[in-house]
Amino acid sequence: MPERRTVALVTLGCARNEVDSEELAGRLEADGWQLVEDAADADVAVVNTCGFVEAAKKDSVDALLEANDLKDHGRTQAVVAVGCMAERYGKELAEALPEADGVLGFDDYADISDRLRTILSGGIHASHTPRDRRKLLPISPAERQDSAAAVALPGHGPADLPEGVAPASGPRAPLRRRLDGSPVASVKLASGCDRRCSFCAIPSFRGSFISRRPSDVLNESRWLAEQGVKEIMLVSENNTSYGKDLGDIRLLESLLPELAGIDGIERIRVSYLQPAEMRPGLIDVLTSTPKVAPYFDLSFQHSAPGVLRAMRRFGDTDRFLELLDTIRSKAPQAGVRSNFIVGFPGESEADLAELERFLIGARLDAIGVFGYSDEEGTEAATYDNKLDEDVVAERLAHMSRLAEELVSQRAEERVGESVHVLVESVDDEEGVYGRAAHQAPETDGQVLLTSGEGLAVGRMVEAKVVGTEGVDLVAEPLTGSLACSEEAGR
């Protein structure tokens, strides 16, 4: 019997890419490939790239070059680029980076096994030719679902799957294979984006917004619960638009209680929310539904009205603060995070001061600050009133220092609070770490528990915050919380 071909998936970028990698893993394993963790042990290394900003693109290129080095002294025979950077640049990336043996776009995902076998056997597969994916679906959201079957939508999975792709969970199991044993997993709620922010190129290579059907989201979440997942994080480019192409813009409000009712799932988290699309009913569900984290990942980007209009966005400092007041009136311990761009073309000193006013008043748990840089193909790249690079760097440094100080202060405000911590790592030397409801994976800090007795990865424990370490919390498990956690899991 011939030896099975081995493949390693190297994932960069956001949680949406992680879901896409697990779809690719599901397809490959179903077709007989053996998945390995280390690229050095694989016949082919598949690098799932990020194409969002310059730093992420550089990381993707570095990962491809690092994997290519393995061909000189390891088992690896081929390195293949997939993901957003490969989709966005295609042939251009292949020409600029000959070390990559293949550059595959989203349209290649359904046939990923055949593509890799061709590349490994020395055959030639034409590099992906980029196109504006916004043009692949009808302009009207209501007409998109009927056309979606003919368009590659990574992370969605087809309606009918071959037997054995994944353990059955409901009428349809997801085309997915988990790549780690984390008690947290992301689930794609939708793909693409209909917003036209002047600084963002994502819609051009991710396409127009299209929702997954609630039944698919529920079945995949049930399957993940069977794999031991305790927390589901719903991801897309814009979760607040979920359902608009299915005829119900309030569909998320009805889906969340159903997800919370899945046996084994202890927490549901919703990411990627647009402030301009927040509505009272969604705020109510996010702040009052058991097992749904009162967590608000709000994409503010700035708060000065002039800058927001140039970004093709809406709102201002006072309206944003009013939104946060509404949220906290319903859930005082709600977690809020956001990202901001400084140095945007035309940003004045007064605009920067307005952003400072917002940040100081907002009491955010996590803040990401980025300096503006041109993204090719975006409207902002054509603007004339660009700031000097040294001015952008200075403003970035200043606002980053302020953000670090403010999130530390916000963490200190939580001392004395009771938090529910999902345990994610237990180590005799490093200690026991997890995350509270206001902390998303990778981005928002973590909780160090002062005692690890009786704890294991995947356990939910109630604890009292007794200290802070920057944005991180130190918490003491409460007496009886372990028994309560065990009872809740039955």
pLDDT tens track for 293-313: 999 999 999 999 999 999 999
Residue 173 in this model has a pLDDT that exceeds 80 = no
| Helices 280-288, 251-260: inter-axial angle, 10-degree rounding | 10
Beta strands in 252-316 (DSSP E): 267-270, 295-297
Lowest pLDDT segment from 82-96, 135-149, 171-185, 352-366: 171-185
The pTM of this model reads 0.91
State mean pLDDT over 354-376.
96
Give the amino acid at 349: E
Which element (helix H / strand E) includes 462? strand 460-469
> What does the DSSP 8-state code read for residue 303?
-
Lowest pLDDT segment from 48-52, 154-158, 471-475: 154-158
CB burial string 440-455: b at 16+ within 10 A, e below = bbeebbbbbbeebeeb
> What does the DSSP 8-state code read for residue 230?
-
State mean pLDDT over 210-214.
93
Max avg pLDDT among 45-54, 171-180, 466-475: 466-475
SS3 content of the chain, % helix, strand, coil (to 5): 40, 20, 40
Q: What is the pLDDT of residues 214-260, one digit of tens each?
A: 988 998 899 899 989 999 999 999 999 999 999 999 999 999 999 99
Classified as helix, coil or strand, 177 is coil
Q: What is the pLDDT of residues 90-139, one digit of tens each?
A: 888 888 888 888 999 999 998 899 999 999 988 877 888 888 888 888 88
155 contacts 211 by C-beta, under 8 angstroms: no
Written as six digits, the tokens of 220 are: 């995949």
Burial of 73 (0-12, 13-18, 19+ CB in 10 A): exposed
Higher pLDDT, 145 or 237: 237
User: Which among 281, 192, 201 is positioned nearest to 235, based on CA atoms?
Assistant: 192
Lowest pLDDT segment from 10-24, 289-303, 369-383, 409-423: 10-24
Which element (helix H / strand E) includes 48? strand 44-49
Question: Rounded to the nearest 5°, which phi and psi values hold at 77?
Answer: -110, -20
User: Which among 219, 209, 232 is positioned nearest to 172, based on CA atoms?
Assistant: 219
Length of the chain: 490
Give the amino acid at 317: T
221, 226, 232, 236: CA torsion to nearest 10: -40
Residue 461 in this model has a pLDDT that exceeds 80 = yes
Residue 486 in this model has a pLDDT that exceeds 80 = no
Residue 159 in this model has a pLDDT that exceeds 60 = no
Residue 165 in this model has a pLDDT that exceeds 60 = no
Classified as helix, coil or strand, 92 is helix
| Rounded Cα–Cα distance for residues 267 and 187 (Å) | 13
CA triplet 466, 469, 472: central angle to 5 degrees?
85
Q: Which pLDDT score is estimated for 483?
A: 38
Model confidence at 164, pLDDT cuts 50, 70, 90, reads very low
Distances (CA, A) of 95 to 46, 58, 116, 281: 18, 16, 19, 50
| Rounded Cα–Cα distance for residues 140 and 125 (Å) | 35
| Rounded Cα–Cα distance for residues 4 and 217 (Å) | 32
- What is the pLDDT of the chain when averaged over all its residues? 89
CB burial string 345-375: b at 16+ within 10 A, e below = bbbeeebbebbbebbeebebbbbebbbbbeb
Q: Which pLDDT score is estimated for 210?
A: 94
